[in-house]
Every structure is written in C-alpha cells, then in structure tokens.
Amino acid sequence: MNKPKLAVIGNGMAGIRAIEELLKIAPDKYDITVFGAEPHPNYNRILLSPVLAGEQTMQDIVLNDWDWYRDNGIKLVTNKKIVNIHRTKRELTAESGETYSYDRLLIATGSNPFILPIPGANLPGVISYRDIADTEAMIDAAKHHKKAVVIGGGLLGLEAANGLKLRGMDVTVVHVMPWLMERQLDERAGKLLQASLEAKGIAFKIQANTEALIAGESGRVAALKFKSGEQIPAELVVMAVGIRPNAALAERSGIAVSARPGGIIVNDTMQTLTDPRIYAVGECVNHRGIAYGLVAPLFEMAKVCANHLAEYGIGRYVGSVTSTKLKVTGVDLFSAGNFQGDEATEDIVLSDPIGGVYKRLVIKDDKLVGACLYGDTVDGSWYFKLLREGKNIAEIRDQLMFGESNIGDVGHEGNTRAAAMKDSDEVCGCNGVCKGAITKAIKEKGLFTLDEVRKHTKASSSCGSCTGLVEQILMFTAGGDYSATPKMKPMCGCTDHTHQDARDAIKASKLLSVPDVMKFLDWRTPNGCATCRPALNYYLLSTWPKECIDDPQSRFINERAHANIQKDGTFSVIPRMWGGETTADELRRIANAVDKYKIPTVKVTGGQRIDLLGVKKEDLPNVWKDIGMPSGHAYAKALRTVKTCVGSEWCRFGTQDSTQMGKDLEQAMWRMYAPHKVKFAVSGCPRNCAEAGIKDVGVIGVDSGWELYVAGNGGIKTEVAQFFVKVKTSEEVLEYTGAFMQLYREEGWYLERTVHYVSRVGLDYVKKRVLEDAENRKALWERLQFSLDGEPDPWFEFDKARVDTRQFIPIKPSAAMADAVPAE
C-alpha cells in the first residue's frame, strides 16, 4: 500500500469535519493519522454547556466514536501532543519523543483560552472553560464547594455561570465592560439579559476590574480581589475572557502566523501561506485577517480544504457571516451581522421591557445588515437569511419587524416556537416529518447544517415553508448555528456554479446544448443530475429560442410525456379551454373519451377546466387525438390557465369584457415555458370574481381601462399580487403582460416563481425595465412573440415538439426460447 500520508494535528471539530468531507469525495486517497492532545475521540465542544447544566451527558456529545475511526481506516493517536513540525524532513515530533512522517499535513489545533495575567491565576481551583477536563473539574467542584466566580460575561462565561448555578453553586459573574456580551448585543439587550439571569439567581459585578486571586489555607483559591479593594469569596474561578488561536506549534515550526488577532495565515484554499503541503482549518487559522470562534465558518473551511486535499481543486473559502445564539435554557437571544449600527445605518427598534422583548434591526441601503433579538428569536433565522443573501427589503420594510409569519402567510404556521413543540408535532407538512424525527437525526447522525437535515429527514426539502422552524430546531439541538457564505449557493452537488453563473455563461458564450454548458463550466459529473439538467435545459430554451437543442431527457417526466404523473404511475390529461369557456361539442368529445378509455375520474380544476385523471400512459396519444383540444400545459413549467369571470357580456356589474381579454392573453402566450408554472386571471370589475389577486399576472377591469397586478401566488404561502400599472386598451394589457413575462423568463432562476423573482430583484427594478423604459418593453414583448411563434402543440406535433412516442408503447418480452439466448 503506497498511499500518501495525511497527518492531522488536532482531533477536534474542524479537523475531523475536514476528514469527513474528504472521505465523502475521495475515501481511498490517503493513509490518515490523527493526533489529539485530549484522551477522547472527537466530541461536540459546543454541547459542553448542556453537559455542565446537566441537560446532556458526555456520551451524548461524542460525534465520532472509536469505531468510526476504525471503520474508516484512520489511525487515531490520543493523548499525543505534537510539539514540532520539521518541514523539510516532513516529520512531526510528539511531546513524548516519537517522530511521524507525512506527505500532507492538516493543522487544526483550535484555540486556547486566554488567562488573565494576574496574581493567583495559576492557583488550584482556577480553570478555563474549553474541554471535557474543564467541564469535569467544574462538575466536581460543584460537589465540594459553594462559591463560584466566573470572570467574563460573554457567551462562554454566561453558559458556565448558568451551568454552575444549576449544579447548586452561588455564582457571581465579573464583567469588565458596561454590559454583558457586548460583542454580540447592544446595551439594551445586554441589560435585559442581565435582568433575566439575575432572576435565575446569578449575581453580577459589572464594570469590575479583577486585581488578584487570593489563596486560602489549603492553598486553593478562596477569594477574588477587585481593583477597588473589595473582595468576594471564590472557591472556584472560571476564566472565560476570550480565546486566542492556538498557533504556537505552527509559529515555532516556521509557519507564518498573524500577530493580531493571531492565527495561522491561510489562503482561500486553506493552505498555509508558508507551505502548500500544509493546510490549516478551524479556530487556529487567520483567513483574510479574521480568526473565527464559531463552528459554522469552520465547517465551510473544512469542506473547501477537503476538496483541495482530494485534488479536485474546486471551491474557495471566501469568509462567513456569523450569528450567535446563547444556549441558556429559557433565555432567548440572537444576534447577527452589524447589530450595533454606525453613521451609515438606520435602526428599526421594538422594545417591550415589561414583556421582556427587545428587537433591533439595522438597515443600510435598503438591506438588512444586522439584527439583535432578545426574548423573541423566532425570526432569527429568517433575518439571518435576509442578511446573508443581501435581499432588498424596501418593500417589506414596514412589516419587517413583525417577522416572516406576518408577511402573507396563511398556509403554514410560522410562529410556533420550535422549542415549545412536542416531539410528535409535525414540522414539515410536505413530507410528514415531526420534530422528534429531526432531533433524533441531528443527534444520531451528527448533523449541523440545514442541507444535511434536508437530506437525512426530507424536512423542509420540498416547499421550504418550514425552513425557519427546522433551522431553529437545528440551533438548539446541535447547538450550532449555520452560516453560509453570502450568495454563493451552487445549483447542486454537480457544480460550484450558481444559477446566475449558468445563465450568464449560456448567454455570453452562446452555449446551445446541455452537454456544452456542462463542458464549458467544468461540471463534476458526466451528465449532471435531476436538479441541474432541467434547469440548464430551461436556460437554453429561454436564452436561445429556435437555436438551442431542447433535450427531452433533461426534462421531468411530466414535460416529457406531456401529462401529469400521478402517484400510481397513471397520468392526468387537462385540455386547454380558452379563458375557461367550452362548448357542447368539446364536452361531448371529452365524455366519449372518458367512456372509451375507461378514465376513472373527471374533475373540474380550480383553473376552470376539466381534468381527466387515471389515464394509462399508452392511451395518452389516443385520448389527445379523440378529444381534439389543445394541450393545457397543466404538467409544465409554462403558462397554465387564464382564469376569467363572465364580465361585461353578461354580468350586471361588468365594466370590461374579461372573458375575451382572458382568451386573448391565453392565445398570445400559451406554450410559453417559464422558470416555473405561470397563471393569469382576468376579472371584469373590482369585485374580482376571478381571484386575480393571487396570480402571476392579475388583470382587473375598471371603467377607464385595466389594472395590472403582478407576482401573486396562491401556493403554500399566499402572496397577494402587487399593483403594477393601469392601462387603457387590451393591446396594452398584452404588451405589458408579455414584457413582464419575458423579463421573468430571461432572468428568473429555474423553479423561482414570479413572486420570488420579483422579491429578489425588487419591484422597482421590474417597473424600471417594463414601465419606464418603453423601448425595452417593446423589445421584451417582441422577443416573447418571436420565441412563441411557431411553437408546436406537443399533443399533436410530436416531431416538432421532440416528443419521443416510443415511450407510449410498452415492450412485450419474447417468450423464453432457446434460440433467443445470447452468446456467452
């Protein structure tokens, strides 16, 4: 066996995560040895606090047990501190004297607690809070002593204080700054936090400077003395005043280390500045001047590092935005981004001191840049998402403070507090996943990110409306937070490119087929997957109509068979009824087909047409032919129905002929493929019987013309369409609707509904392109007409629509005959 040797120094969360990521993509590449100074296999350091608080046990928090190392062929050497790296010899020396050679090296030594340089800092009974040994020392001290002092009112210090209090000690927190957690909270929130911890029985000394720790008769620490001269009893002192990247080993071995804030200097591929054979990840590194102290960024580093160790050479770490959550049961607190604000930012503040709720949102240039929540953190993950994605919030600004559940949500509940839910409560309605299943998967499989939870439980993998809830469950179960690099979400696992990257490349380099795009953008897989192929195929179609190669095999079955697949494998047929109007003849043909093909269910759809359900695949072409009506595209990411009311032809309130307008719109735009399904509606007066307020484009007749509304949606989350423009003539209705549609077709990401597209780019932008720029509007409308001109009806023009009719003919196998046996 001649595999190159990969050595890992530091058996902690970042190092082992990098190995896990590496095993996923290149399991056999290296002979791996891990050196750890602690005696334990890798455990979840974050959960030391719940262990201290007695809410979990040490066994609960092991992430990778000994079997994991063995099963993956990894040598784990515990209790082994590495003291030197000899770079030219490529050799490590342990404290105990042995040497080990390596071909590549990964340093993941974490960080060291900072110890205040005061007299008495090294007395027995004075500890820091970093690992299992510290935690055990605290649990033990709580059994024999009464008075505890925690120096440092930050995240770690408060979690330690809370745990010690729960274990029966009298705890005082000594903090030098004017309020608690000053790096994560503003003053108001810091004070509220203090009040609620005081209510739990924890005492505070704020803006207090420690001068010395004083020993008692036994030699153990007995008291703490302040600069003011005051003394308080202290039989256990926990120093939690910050951490420093643990880069001493690297520095001693001649690897470049930053002076401030410390840490091994790495580039975007996680290689050390000094030696490309040596990688570093975790709290011990300094990336672009930042040393991180939370797990989420470390995991992103680990992923990038693994990719380069595997020699795939794809992916760069470009830094992270982080958020903070305090894990003290009963205290709800969340902060992210620039929550303090500065001259260039504006604040929205909600303060309810009696109810114990305080929220501050910091906004800059119509974007959320920071959030600090106290007492009610339900929307923390939603704010964090807005912040990370840099979404334009101008249009939701006045509702922003009231949270995601306030923004047009009637479908699913967004305001159930995840923490208050029972294990049996359903979280994801789409996939029927309850809370217990999610927490179990998080614990057993060691999940940390939303994506991992989606993969393992399917929760929030469909409609996504429960994402916030799942993120919250993740937060308090794994303790971790999750942060993604801003706006870098790749299309799928086949590539690191985003949807926008793919769109841009197709346009700029005139790529005309799915394989061409994959080749051009260095796809990692030979022919993509079921996520990226349909998207790419749509991008080709919408960018280069009539020139690109439409690939039916890259379409979902519904668009390949031109009917909707049902759960039993049969299909449904929904013929087009222009504007929802039909005739006796059409109904007769439908009735005859239902009898002839024994179609089990006939249903009137919500889109004012008729759905024939339970059609066998082999009958589809004949059903289409017998009915003799155009395809309704109810199966496609395309224009579906145009719902209309009866309008001025019959209705006593009608001001406009809405039925005719609907038919005109439908005839102008049917066969129009789009990023997602598209629905229109036209009402003849503001009574709006056609429910135009929840359609992608809703048209409402008024005395003097037509009002257009865009980007509505009746789906999982009802979104009311926004007023777009008022026009006079029906020609204008066509032109404005068409232009809006074409803009969406050209710029929307695959599976992005109009409402999501518009919220991404902002309604103002759409107005600029369609309303204010008349020339552009005409050009868009012309491009749409050009695309649709001559588009085939797939139910009748099989060749032109590239329908593979072989799919409708099942194969009958030959009888078992001796002469049919192939040569061996």
Partner 1 sequence: MKIETHMSWRYVCKLEELPVLGARVVERSEDEGGNVAVFRNDKDVVFALLDKCPHKGGPLSQGIVFGERVACPLHNWTIELKSGDAVAPDVGCTRRFSVKVDNGDVFVEL
Among positions 654, 698, 712, 748, the unique one binding ligand SF4 when judged by CB under 6 A: 654
Site map 641..670 versus partner 1, x via CB under 8 A: ------------------------------
Q: Which is nearer to ligand FAD, 45 or 145 (CB)?
A: 45
Among positions 114, 544, 556, 798, the unique one binding partner 1 when judged by CB under 8 A: 556
Least distance from C-beta 548 to partner 1, angstroms?
17
Burial of 256 (0-12, 13-18, 19+ CB in 10 A): middle
Least distance from C-beta 202 to partner 1, angstroms?
42
Q: Does 293 help bind ligand SF4 (rule: CB under 6 A)? A: no
Q: Which of residues 686-725 bind ligand SF4 (CB under 6 A)?
A: 687-689
Q: Which of residues 208-247 bind ligand FAD (CB under 6 A)?
A: 246
Whether residue 325 contacts residue 535, with contact meaning beta carbons closer than 8 Å, is answered with no
Q: Does 694 help bind ligand HEM (rule: CB under 6 A)? A: yes
User: Which residues fall within 8 angstroms of residue 702, CB to CB, at 6 or more apart?
Assistant: 655, 656, 685, 686, 726
Rounded Cα distance between 57 and 570, Å, is: 52
Q: Does 812 help bind partner 1 (rule: CB under 8 A)? A: yes
Least distance from C-beta 346 to ligand SF4, angstroms?
41
Q: Which is nearer to partner 1, 134 or 451 (CB)?
A: 451
Among positions 7, 22, 23, 38, the unique one binding ligand FAD when judged by CB under 6 A: 38
Q: Which does 46 bind (CB under 5 to 8 A by kind): partner 1, ligand HEM, ligand FAD, none?
A: ligand FAD
Among positions 44, 320, 483, 564, the unique one binding ligand HEM when judged by CB under 6 A: 564
Q: Which does 10 bind (CB under 5 to 8 A by kind): ligand FAD, ligand HEM, ligand SF4, none?
A: ligand FAD
Query: What six digits make up the tokens of 255?
Result: 């690897």
Q: Which is nearer to partner 1, 492 or 763 (CB)?
A: 492
Could you tell me which stretch among 81-89, 534-542, 711-719, 792-800 binds ligand HEM (CB under 6 A)?
Answer: 711-719
Q: Which is nearer to ligand FAD, 221 or 249 (CB)?
A: 249
Rounded Cα distance between 611 and 662, Å, is: 20
Taking the alpha carbons of 111, 319, 277, 22 in that order, is the dihedral positive or negative? positive
Inter-CA distances, 631 with 528, 621, 639, Å: 29, 11, 11
Rounded Cα distance between 748 and 756, Å, is: 9
Q: What is the DSSP string of 469-524?
A: HHHHHHHHHH-------TT---SSTT-S--HHHHHHHHHHTT--SHHHHHHHTT-S
Among positions 7, 32, 49, 239, the unique one binding ligand FAD when judged by CB under 6 A: 49
DSSP structure class, residue 421: -
Least distance from C-beta 562 to ligand FAD, angstroms?
49
DSSP structure class, residue 416: S
Query: What six digits make up the tokens of 514?
Result: 């799915």
Rounded Cα distance between 87 and 92, Å, is: 9
Among positions 147, 640, 676, 783, the unique one binding ligand HEM when judged by CB under 6 A: 640
Q: Which does 417 bind (CB under 5 to 8 A by kind): partner 1, ligand SF4, ligand FAD, none?
A: none
Q: Which does 689 bind (CB under 5 to 8 A by kind): ligand FAD, ligand HEM, ligand SF4, none?
A: ligand SF4
User: Which residues fall within 8 angstroms of residue 789, CB to CB, at 6 or more apart?
Assistant: none
Q: Which does 807 bind (CB under 5 to 8 A by kind): partner 1, ligand HEM, ligand SF4, none?
A: partner 1
Site map 788..807 versus partner 1, x via CB under 8 A: ----------------x-xx
Whether residue 171 contacts residue 202, with contact meaning beta carbons closer than 8 Å, is answered with yes
Whether residue 151 contacts residue 237, with contact meaning beta carbons closer than 8 Å, is answered with yes
Residue showing tokens 């085939």:
792
Could you tell me which stretch among 157-165, 328-336, 644-652, 793-801 binds ligand SF4 (CB under 6 A)?
Answer: 644-652
Amino acid residing at 692: A
Inter-CA distances, 544 with 256, 522, 527, 538, 783, Å: 51, 21, 21, 10, 11
Region of 378 on the Ramachandran plot (φ > 0 left; ψ -120 to 50 alpha; else beta): alpha
Among positions 658, 660, 759, 787, the unique one binding ligand SF4 when judged by CB under 6 A: 658
Query: What six digits make up the tokens of 254?
Result: 């001649």
Site map 270..299 versus ligand FAD, x via CB under 6 A: ------------xxx--------xxxx-x-
Amino acid residing at 707: E
Inter-CA distances, 256 with 110, 218, 514, 688, 767, Å: 16, 44, 45, 69, 52
Number of residues that bind ligand SF4 (CB under 6 A): 13
Residues making contact with ligand HEM (CB under 6 A):
463, 564, 572, 574, 605-607, 609, 611, 632, 634, 640-641, 694, 714-716
Residues making contact with ligand FAD (CB under 6 A):
9-15, 35-38, 45-46, 48-49, 81-82, 108-110, 129-130, 156, 159, 246, 249, 282-284, 293-296, 298, 327, 479-481
